[in-house]
């Protein structure tokens, strides 16, 4: 009898090992077939070859920013929630994996019976039983469920990693926006000071009969507009600083100090190749793992239509004396095999297969969309790096030319060769050029960060990995 049971168990394991389940190769082939043919290199002119760099936050060379990004990784509430989701997903994997092993339960019962009157003495009865239940996963239904949970956990973990990258980018963007806003305050203050001096001079000239009432009205209007711009710049700086503090998990009280100036934009980083991007970017990896989960769910739904074979075994003893409950004569064992074959379920399992099949096709389409979006972000940011560099060069030239024009116009005004309107117009060009130059500098360094995020490089250096949450 025992030999037959052992042979039956071995046969069950052999058949289970032959069950056909989807493999990672199947997943990768489906994912790869869903995207267009990729070029060998990026198509943007000027993209640098070489391996994508990591540690791009530290490469900016601003220790204040590096410290703030690490603070955000520890304290940002969204990151903390994402980290908890990762833990929960791996707990689901352990739950799914537990179904592959026998479930063993123990039961102990004790009873005592007797009569209120009569010669029959009171009697005690004790029983101790261990029962094991196990499903022979012949068709891979349980393993498919485990595979689905495992792939889903990998997807959640990859999403969490990308959230860390995106948070680093968001903190950097908010940091640069705060610095830019404070630099714009400086431009606005210089504008107000210059216009206030011109307004004072014009009013003196008006009292002496050398300027008209129109001139005083114009300078007064320009000064009031400049004061309005200054107050707007101060409000924008406070708003930007509060946004940065919120990302850090701090109270948004406009108390954070930053560097006095924007850092210079580093050189364009190596961009790798398009196919490498799809293997590297965490959000694309997460989408590919969702495809793997969908394949496993379809495997599970198909296997659920096949017979379910389960074994139940028990071993226990019963006795009126607790001390000899495990003695040989009191022990009883049993092994029960059960085969459940679905016959009629109103189309439930067939509908579940259809649903899983549709979900698989949706996951493949979602992967293709994520991959194309990642490729688009990379190509666009590579292009914008060139555009913004050229724009900054043009604005540098415009600022220098405006300053030269303003100096010449001031000399002409003092000599009486031009009027006040010309002076004010040229001066406005100077301040507009300064504001535009500050904005383009912020746009360039922010775009450099966006490029590194698009290329899928890790924000932190290998020697700093211990400073951020796992």
Are the C-beta atoms of residues 281 and 117 closer than 8 Å to each other?
A: no
Are the C-beta atoms of residues 266 and 457 closer than 8 Å to each other?
A: no
Query: What digits encode the pLDDT tens for the residues 322-375?
Result: 778 778 787 888 888 888 888 888 899 899 999 999 999 999 999 999 999 999
Q: Which domain holds residue 284?
A: 19-102+139-308+355-467
Per-residue pLDDT of the chain (470 residues; tens, 9 = 90+): 444 544 444 444 444 444 578 899 999 999 999 999 999 999 998 888 889 989 999 999 999 999 999 999 999 999 999 999 999 999 989 999 888 888 889 898 888 887 777 676 778 888 888 888 888 888 889 999 999 999 999 999 999 999 999 999 999 999 999 999 999 999 999 989 988 988 888 888 788 887 788 888 988 898 999 999 999 999 999 999 999 999 999 999 999 999 999 999 999 999 999 999 999 999 999 999 999 999 999 999 999 899 988 889 888 888 877 778 778 787 888 888 888 888 888 899 899 999 999 999 999 999 999 999 999 999 999 999 999 999 999 999 988 888 888 888 878 877 777 777 777 778 888 888 889 999 999 999 999 999 999 999 899 887 655 443 33
**Total domains present in the chain:** 1
Q: How many CB atoms lie within 10 A of CB 307?
A: 11
Distance CA 348, CA 340 (A): 16
Q: Residue 124: inside a domain, yes or no?
A: no
Closest CA to 146 of 349, 347, 296, 323: 296
pLDDT of residue 120: 67
pLDDT of residue 467: 41
Q: Residue 398: inside a domain, yes or no?
A: yes
Q: Residue 26: inside a domain, yes or no?
A: yes
Q: Residue 28: inside a domain, yes or no?
A: yes
pLDDT of residue 430: 86
Q: How many CB atoms lie within 10 A of CB 368?
A: 17
Are the C-beta atoms of residues 31 and 288 closer than 8 Å to each other?
A: yes
**Order of strands, sheet of 308-319, starting from the edge strand that comes earlier in the sequence:** 103-113, 123-136, 308-319, 331-340
Q: How many CB atoms lie within 10 A of CB 411?
A: 11
Domain harbouring 457, CATH code:
1.20.1600.10
pLDDT of residue 463: 66
pLDDT of residue 93: 92
Q: Residue 462: inside a domain, yes or no?
A: yes
Query: What digits encode the pLDDT tens for the residues 139-192?
Result: 889 999 999 999 999 999 999 999 999 999 999 999 999 999 999 999 999 989
Q: Residue 205: inside a domain, yes or no?
A: yes
What does each C-alpha distance from 186 to 189, 237, 239 come to in angstroms?
5, 11, 17
Distance CA 317, CA 128 (A): 5
pLDDT of residue 319: 80
């Amino acid at each position: 009898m025992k030999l037959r049971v052992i042979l039956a168990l071995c046969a069950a394991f052999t058949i289970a090992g032959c069950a056909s389940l989807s493999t990672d190769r199947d997943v990768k082939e489906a994912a790869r077939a869903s995207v267009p043919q990729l070029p060998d290199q990026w198509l943007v002119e000027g993209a640098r070859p070489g391996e994508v760099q990591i540690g791009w936050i530290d490469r900016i060379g601003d220790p204040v920013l590096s410290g703030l990004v690490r603070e955000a990784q520890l304290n940002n509430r969204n990151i903390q929630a994402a980290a908890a989701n990762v833990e929960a997903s791996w707990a689901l994997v352990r739950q799914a994996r537990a179904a592959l092993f026998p479930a063993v339960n123990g039961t102990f019962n004790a009873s005592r019976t007797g009569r209120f009157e009569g010669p029959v003495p009171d009697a005690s009865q004790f029983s101790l039983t261990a029962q094991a239940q196990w499903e022979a996963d012949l068709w891979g239904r349980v393993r498919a469920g485990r595979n689905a949970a495992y792939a889903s956990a990998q997807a959640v973990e990859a999403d969490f990693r990308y959230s860390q990258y995106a948070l680093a980018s968001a903190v950097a963007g908010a940091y640069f926006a705060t610095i830019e806003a404070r630099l714009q305050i400086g431009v606005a203050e210089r504008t107000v000071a210059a216009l206030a001096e011109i307004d004072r001079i014009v009013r003196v000239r008006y009292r002496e009969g050398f300027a008209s009432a129109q001139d005083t009205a114009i300078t007064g209007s320009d000064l009031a507009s400049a004061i309005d711009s200054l107050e707007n710049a101060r409000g924008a700086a406070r708003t930007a600083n509060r946004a940065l503090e919120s990302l850090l998990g701090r109270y948004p009280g406009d108390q954070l100090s930053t560097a006095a100036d924007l850092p210079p934009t580093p050189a364009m980083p190596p961009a790798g190749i398009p196919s490498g991007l799809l293997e590297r970017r965490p959000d694309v990896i997460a989408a590919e793992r969702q495809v793997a989960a969908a394949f496993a769910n379809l495997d599970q739904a198909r296997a659920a239509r096949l017979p379910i074979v389960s074994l139940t075994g028990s071993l226990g003893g019963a006795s009126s004396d607790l001390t000899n409950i495990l003695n040989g004569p009191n022990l009883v064992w049993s092994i029960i095999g059960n085969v459940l074959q679905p016959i009629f379920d109103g189309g439930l399992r067939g509908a579940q297969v259809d649903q899983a099949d549709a979900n698989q096709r949706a996951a493949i389409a979602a992967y293709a969309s994520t991959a194309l979006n990642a490729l688009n972000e990379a190509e666009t940011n590579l292009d914008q790096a060139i555009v913004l560099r050229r724009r900054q060069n043009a604005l540098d030239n415009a600022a220098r030319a405006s300053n030269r024009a303003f100096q010449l116009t001031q000399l002409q005004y003092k000599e009486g060769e031009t009027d006040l309107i010309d002076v004010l117009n040229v001066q406005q060009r100077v301040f507009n050029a300064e504001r535009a130059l500050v904005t383009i500098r912020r746009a360039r360094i922010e775009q450099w960060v966006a490029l590194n995020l698009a290329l899928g490089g890790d924000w932190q250096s290998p020697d700093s990995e211990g400073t951020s949450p796992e």
